[in-house]
Structures are given as C-alpha cells and as structure tokens.
Amino acid sequence: MKVIVVGAGVVGTMHAWQAVERGHEVVHIEREAEARGASLRNFGQIWVSGRAGGEELDTALRARELWEGIGARVPGLGFRAIGSLTPVRNELELAVAEAAVARPDAAARGYKLLTADEARAVNPALRGAFEAALWCERDAAVEPRLAQLALREALLATGKYTFLPNREVRDVVGENAVRDDRGETHTGDAVVLCTGAWLSGLVREVAGEIPVRRVRLQMMQTEPLGETLTTSVADADSFRYYPAYASEALDALQAAQPQDPTAAAHRMQLLMVQRLDGGLTIGDTHEYEHPFAFDTLEDPYEHLTRVVESFLGRPLPKIRRRWAGVYAQCVDTGRVVHRQRVRDGVWLVTGPGGRGMTCSPAIAEQTADELGW
C-alpha cells in the first residue's frame, strides 16, 4: 500500500511508523519545516500512572510496550524506563495514594506505596519534606524535542518513506487523495490526517464540528540540575486531575484541603522530568476558554518553583526556557482519541489531549488495524 500521512507531530509520525513497519510506502506531509506543536512542547512522559481504568489504561500500557521496543531500535528517542514518584505530605493525600494502591489494576500500573526514606532511596534528589510517595514503575520518558527527528531518520533509512515539509494540505480530492498549497495532488491507498490542534480550515471542511477542544498550557525548563533526578515527579494536585485517583479519599481531600488559589485558578498540577542534558522540564497549567492568552503569566511559574523546591530541598537552577503550547483533547475525556472516516479512504485522527505523547504508538497501531493495513 501507499499511505499518505498529514501532520508530522508524534501522532502522525507514529502512523507513518506503523505503515512502514507493515511493509507499506509512506508520503508524510507537514506544513512547517518540522513539527512545532504539542508534540515538542510536552514533558516527554510516557504516563501510565494516572490513566483511567479500562480502554485508556490498556492503550497506555500497550503504548508503553511499543515505546520501549521502538526506543531499543532508535536510541535517539532517549527512552528511559524511569518510573514516577508522587510525594504526599499529610494523611489526606496519603489516603488517596492508599486508595490508588488498592485499585484492582494497581499491579498493571506498577503502583507501590513507599515511605519517605524508601522514596529517597529510589530518587536521592528528593531531599525535601514529605511523608510518603506513590511509586509507579510503568511510567517512562522520552526526549520530546528529539523524538520526531530520530523517528524520521529511522524511517528515511528504510527507503519506504518520503518527507515533504513546508506544504500545507488544502483539500481532500475525491478518494484517497489530498492537494497541497503548491497545487500538487498526493494519492495513496489511504490518507490519515493527524492535524493536532489545527481544527479549523481543512479539518472543519471535511469533518464539520467535531467533539474536540483545544487546551493551552504553560511549562518551563531549567539549566542542568547538577545531579540525577532518577524518576519523574508529580505532586498531590495530580490526584485532582487524573482519573485514576478518583475515590472517596479524593473527595475527602477536595473537601478538606482546597487547592492553592494559584493552582486552582490555572488548573495546575506539578509534573517534572529531567532531560538528557540535565535540565528539568516543569509544568503545567490548563486553559480551556477561548480566546487563549497570547502571553505567559508568572504566577503559575512561581507556584511551581515553590512546590519543586520544597520537594528537592534546594533552589531550582536558573530557568532557561518558558513556553506555552496548545493541544487537541476529546470533549468526552473518557475517549482516548477521535478517529473518524471523513471521506472514502481518508481518516482524521486527533484529540488525544495530554495523552498524545504517551499513547501515540498504540493509537497508530489501532488505526492500522482498523484500516486493515
């Protein structure tokens, strides 16, 4: 087969990977010189721990398996099976962690409740004050700024892959074909539109109004820490955000321990991962109301800095970068992705939300299976 993939973010690139793996030829079209959206502006976390039970968790676990296999073949991804720790500070937060460990799918996630000393043995950089920590062995990380580039190099080496940057697809032409802004038509046996947060223009023309919204977030990255952060790190605000932690214990936490006003105003949680250069990627916020702000706000960064320094027991290194990003998320947050046939032979795949980096290999595998590749 010949497969046309539109969009070179991580979801589109994984669709190209699946097609080539199954012996097909791929033409990959990207409107920028290379992807510049949420696929780069994220933590690089392969985040199993907070996923909803059922389909979402199954997808994340399958994706985790695929990421590890691809990472062994493409070292440039920077795949690391580092796990995650979520330190807790009091009995209310501890009760939520205990409820998570009691879940029937806790073993699949690699959940374990650690004492503070046990957590510091796993991650010695956590010298601050906390009572215990939730460990998730199945979490992992890749390098978001490098992943698509490394995957593309591996795809180009197969001889079955053509990358066409700086071309914006303007039209779906009949069946199995698209036309770009240079007037060239690209025809294959299947077309997959992986347009990320671009939901207007072509997407609206071919799919109408879809049940997907755009979400904006702020993040930052530091200079090298000077020591190894051996796991990714979250805080107990992640309990409020991720569906895996829903429980009576969480209800009690929400009622008795209101979220910090800045964190609540910006729908925040702490997630932190160390990059291969030693710097820390730290976030994040969630903004849902349009139009999005065009500037970044300092209050969320100051809040995150306080939380991180309280866990590390030391000042953060100098901030090197701050940025905002936008991703597409299914309105029904129980759905992993929006997958829709918009024309004969043409499919739209978008809306994984904050699950995109985690779940993209499995999302692409599911598309390939459904399309009979």
* Reduced 3-state DSSP string for 135-167: EECCCEECCHHHHHHHHHHHHHCCCCEEEECCC
Contact by Cβ (8 Å): 283, 219: yes
Q: Which two tokens mark 278?
A: 């030693």
Q: Which of 351, 360, 356, 359 is nearest to 333 (CA)?
A: 351
The neighbour count for residue 153, using CB atoms within 10 Å, is 11
pLDDT at 93: 98
For the four alpha carbons of 189, 194, 198 and 203, in that order, the dihedral sign comes to positive
Residues in the chain: 373
* 38 secondary structure, DSSP code: T
Nearby residues of 354 by Cβ (< 8 Å), 6 or more positions away: 42, 47, 215, 327, 329
Rounded to an integer, what distance in angstroms lies between the CA atom of residue 66 and that of residue 225?
Answer: 30
Residue where the block lists tokens 């699950």: 355
Tell me the DSSP string of 50-90.
Answer: TPPTTHHHHHHHHHHHHHHHHHHH-GGG--B---EEEEE-S
CA angle, residues 209, 214, 219, in degrees to nearest 5: 170
pLDDT at 313: 98
* 113 secondary structure, DSSP code: E
Residue 256's Cβ-count burial label (10 Å; 0-12, 13-18, 19+) is exposed
Q: What residue spans define the domains of the chain?
A: 1-79+138-211+336-373
Rounded to an integer, what distance in angstroms lies between the CA atom of residue 4 and that of residue 193?
Answer: 8
Rounded mean pLDDT for each run of 10 residues along the chain, 373 residues in total: 97 98 98 91 95 96 98 97 98 98 97 98 98 98 95 98 97 94 97 95 94 96 98 98 96 97 97 98 95 94 98 97 96 92 96 95 98 94
Q: Which of 55, 65, 15, 39 is nearest to 370 (CA)?
A: 15
Contact by Cβ (8 Å): 345, 252: no
The CATH fold assigned to 1-79+138-211+336-373 is FAD/NAD(P)-binding domain (3.50.50)
pLDDT at 334: 81
pLDDT at 333: 78
Contact by Cβ (8 Å): 220, 317: no
Residue 177's Cβ-count burial label (10 Å; 0-12, 13-18, 19+) is middle
Kindly list the strands in the beta sheet with 346-350, ordered across the sheet, starting from the edge strand earlier in the chain: 161-164, 25-29, 2-6, 190-193, 346-350, 338-343
Residue 40's Cβ-count burial label (10 Å; 0-12, 13-18, 19+) is buried
